[in-house]
Structures are given as structure tokens and as C-alpha cells.
Structure 1
Amino acid sequence: MPRYLKVAHARKDDGSLFTEADLAAQNALIERLRAIEPYPVLGEEMDDAAHKRLWQEGHDGLWCVDPIDGTTNFVSGMPFFAMSVALLRQGRPLLGVVYDPQADECFYAEAGAGAFVDGDRLPLKSVPERLERSIAGVDFKRIPRALAGCLAAEHPYSSQRNLGASTLDWCYLAAGRLHVYLHGGQKLWDYAAGALILTEAGGRVSQLDGAEFWSGAPWSRSAVAACTPELHAQWRDWLAARPHQ
């Protein structure tokens, strides 16, 4: 946080921003996490070759970290960014933690043990039963153009948000602050902790093509999610009936 609004930034090959704060946070996490359990640590700011090598090496135990999710917000002064840590085994998360330093909120979950924020069990409040009354988190940049056009012209929800920090999207969904969610392609570190937090809070998630969420390669995974099974079924069915080209 001492670097918030005070750090220079550069662009990676994919056009996204990174800063020395990302690297410093990642290095600190690598050191501390390996002291807890000496598994490999896969961080967002590593190169693609390292990601793939660590994924293979970490089949029986892998830390996955996003040191600052929402770097553009961090650089621009928008207060939506977070640190994300997950512990995976055989490609599935066992533990997930997302910390929002601006709001001083810590979301966390353990597989089979529920999800919490600062000691309070998630979700925090009741949610609507019908899709048309829901608040949606939608990342329009990464979904098919035809589907984006349908959502713009005839959206089935009440209102739409995009925080610019995927890890917080998952947590807000788990808390009941958002109700449904759509993203066209997330990286492992974007969803590893958040998807566990959501499902442990009672939510559901699948991929845009209808596939089981945890199937397929981990590097670009679409997400159709909701904070309840009932809303997920309505959201999934609405999306399935629209063009995806």
C-alpha cells in the first residue's frame, strides 16, 4: 500500500499493466508461502514457460498467487484491487484467500468447510430468486461479440457492474453483492481462490460452452457463475439460447 498511486508502471506483452509493487508482493508471497508448505509457487508475473513448468511440477501441491489483481485500478487510483492466494492439489483448490487492502476485507475458504469474510460466513445477505432482479458482473471485453450485443440490447438482469478485478468479482458474488457473473476467459490465478470461495458459499459455476468448470486447460477458462444454484440455472439457460460467435 505505500506504493499505491506512487509507482511507475509498464506493459506486458499482452497489454496488461504491471508495476514493481506486483513484483515485490509476488516475491514476498513466494517466500512466506514456501515457509508454510514447501510446494512450488506459481505467480502471475512469471513467464508462460514458468507457468507451465510449475503447473506440471505442482500436481500434488501448488501455491497459485496473483500479487495484485486489478493493477490498472491500483495505478489509476480506483479502489478495487486485491491479492489472491490458492493452494491446489491435482488441479483443484483446497484453500483460497483473497485480501482487499483498501476495504481491509479478507475472504477465504477451505474445501468442504465453507466460506467466510473476516469471520462471517458467506453469503452475507439474501439474494433475489429471479434473474431479472439480479445484479450482474460482466466483463464485456472477453466475451463473444454477438453475445455482448445481445446483453447490451436485451439484458436479462436488473443492473450490471465491472470492477476490473476478477478476484473481487468472485468474492462479491459469494457475498451476495453481485448475483450472477460472466467472464470470457480467466487465467488460473484469477479464479483459483475465488471460484472455491464462491462454491463454498453455495454458488455455482460452469463454462460458457456448458462444460464443467474445472475441465480443460487452466490458462483461459470462461465463467458462468451465480450465487445460488437457481440463479445459475436461469443465467446458464439464457446464455445458452444466445449466439456465441
Structure 2
Amino acid sequence: MSDTSTAESDDADDADDSGGATDADLRALADVATRAVHAGGDYLEDAFRDGPVEGEYGTDDVKAAADRAAEERVLSVLRDAYPDHAVHGEESGRDGDHRYEWVVDPLDGTNNFAAGLPSFATAVCALRDGDPVVSAVYEPLPNSTYVARRGGGATVDGEPLSAGSDVPIEHGTVSFVVGLPAVRDPELAAAADRIESALESRCKRVVTTWSPCVDWGLLARGGLEGMVCFHPDVYEQYAGELLAAESGVVSAGSGMDGDGLYVGAGDAETARTLADVAESVLD
């Protein structure tokens, strides 16, 4: 009797820490998420090496045929495992109505992919009642797989992640991510330029890689000193914010909030410094 009560108590604690889902639920979701990103990423690896890339080239974005093909492969895995779950794909849009929703970025870094730059990834994030509970990011070329479970930590290739860097911010590298909502709005684009200039005055290097999920992985493993996102696209932001949080990244704000500003770093002092810098030019 006491063993059963303890097990039930443990399950309740797991559910409280993970948005209402049990640890078993999250592990099952994480397994499916991992298989899904590998299905998309493995296709992208072959397509990247085969080249050239077919697509529609706009002034601020590229829509490659590979995006759609990779998304089909990701969705096939998700729907086979959870046919009732809702999905929100970057290419196909929203489908279904369920407390669980999968947000899919089949090819994060399409411009890089199309230009032959080996910096891209496939990402998925499972939301439960609107809150991210599991995410997976796969970079096929270095063969790196990041997985995060809410309340359960984050891993890269099965090894626990712990964010943090000993490099002071004035000597450090910070990723700056500007989502399409800001790129396409003149006022927000001007604000993004001010943020970037302000960051450059405080850091050794500010990078804009056009592959945020690759940057999220670097942040989670301590390869970047910080990350600032301004009105980011939801398709990679949900997955990235959860990965960062579960690897120990200290954050200020959320890219999903009204002001669209997320700041993350390996320690609270750096996060606060970067947030102050960004916010100072937005006031």
C-alpha cells in the first residue's frame, strides 16, 4: 500500500513539473520527436549533398522544395504515432484541434541550405495546452541531436547538457535572431537594427546565422555567451526556448510575448546585461 502511494505521489510530482504530463508521457513524446526530426533531417542531408536546390527566391526568404519534402516526412512520423494530435507546420499550416499540438520547422536555415552553407536543422516541439513540453532539434551534417523534456533536462546525442561559459560578455559571441515579422515591418526592422548596433558595442561578436536552431544548440552547450531574439518565428522559437531552459540557460522575456524580445545566457548577470542593452534602445 505504501509503495503504491509513493508511486502515485511521484507521478503527481512529475506531472506538476512537466505541465500536467507524466514522465512516461514526455519520454514517449521525446522518442517520437527524435524520430520525426531524423526523418526530416536525413532527407535534407541527402538533398543538400545532391544539389542544386529548387525553390522560390524572395527578397527576404527562400521556399525550397526541400522544406515541403522534409515536412512531409516529419509529419508522417508524428501522425503515425499520434493521429489525433494537432500539428502546425511551417509549410502546411495548422491542422487539427487537440490539447497536444506539434510545431514543426522542417528546414531551419533554408537560405543557408539553398546557398550551400552547411548550417541548418530540423526542429519539432510538442505543446500541451499551449505550453512547450518536449522539443527535438537535429543537425544532420554534424549528426547532432538535441532533445529537451520539460522538467527533465536536455541532452545532445544522449549526453546531458549544461549551459554556461567562462568568457566575459565583452569578449563573447552573441547570436541575434530577427524573425520575419520584424524583417517585414519597417518600424520593427529599424528597432532590430538598433538592437544589433547596441549589442555590437558590448560584445566581441554578434552573429546572425539565419539558422536559429543551430544557435540554440550552441547556446545550450555553452558555445555562445548569449542569444537575443526579436519577434522570432514560432517554428523554431518554441523548440529553442525549451532546449535552452532545460539546459540551464537563464532567460529574460520570451519571444512569444507581446514585446517579442527573448534574451538568454548561461548566467544571470550576462542575461541581465544583454536584456538591458536591448531594452535601452526600445524605450
Per the TM superposition, whether the score is higher than 0.5 is: yes
Query: Percent identity over the alignment?
Result: 26
The offset of 1:73, in angstroms, is: 0.6
Aligned to 1:193: 239
Q: Counterpart amino acid of 2:204? A: S
2: distance between equivalents of 1:238 and 1:149?
A: 10
Structure 2: tracts of 5 or more residues without a match = 1-44, 184-188
Q: Counterpart amino acid of 1:68? A: L
Aligned to 1:28: 73
2: distance between equivalents of 1:146 and 1:197?
A: 27
TM-score (normalised: structure 1):
0.83
- Which stretch of structure 1 is more off in the superposition, 74-83 or 198-207? 198-207
Instruction: Answer whether contact 2:177 2:232 (CA < 8 A) is retained.
Output: no
1:103 and 2:142 matched = yes
- Which stretch of structure 1 is more off in the superposition, 223-232 or 138-147? 138-147
> 1:183–1:238: structure 2 CA closer, same or farther, 3 Å change rule?
same
Aligned to 2:46: 2
Aligned to 1:134: 172
Aligned to 2:221: 175
1: distance between equivalents of 2:223 and 2:169?
A: 14
The offset of 1:214, in angstroms, is: 4.8
2: distance between equivalents of 1:43 and 1:182?
A: 24
Residues 55-78 of structure 1: CA distance to partner in whole angstroms, max 9, x if unpaired?
Answer: xx34x1001110000011111111
2: distance between equivalents of 1:146 and 1:230?
A: 22
1:228 and 2:267 matched = yes
Aligned length: 226
Q: Counterpart amino acid of 1:145? A: D
1: distance between equivalents of 2:222 and 2:281?
A: 28
Residues 168-220 of structure 1: CA distance to partner in whole angstroms, max 9, x if unpaired?
Answer: 1111111111111112121211211111010001112333xxxx55545xxx9
Instruction: Answer whether contact 1:187 1:221 (CA < 8 A) is retained.
Output: no
2: distance between equivalents of 1:145 and 1:163?
A: 15
TM-score (normalised: structure 2):
0.72
> 1:238–1:7: structure 2 CA closer, same or farther, 3 Å change rule?
closer
Instruction: Answer whether contact 1:114 1:200 (CA < 8 A) is retained.
Output: yes
Aligned to 1:146: 194
Structure 1: tracts of 5 or more residues without a match = none
Residues 42-64 of structure 1: CA distance to partner in whole angstroms, max 9, x if unpaired?
Answer: 11113xxx44x75xx34x10011
2: distance between equivalents of 1:214 and 1:222?
A: 8
Aligned to 2:282: 244
The offset of 1:120, in angstroms, is: 1.4
Instruction: Answer whether contact 1:129 1:231 (CA < 8 A) is retained.
Output: no
Q: Counterpart amino acid of 1:29? A: V
Instruction: Answer whether contact 2:237 2:255 (CA < 8 A) is retained.
Output: no
- Which stretch of structure 1 is more off in the superposition, 221-230 or 25-34? 221-230
2: distance between equivalents of 1:117 and 1:184?
A: 26
1:79 and 2:118 matched = yes
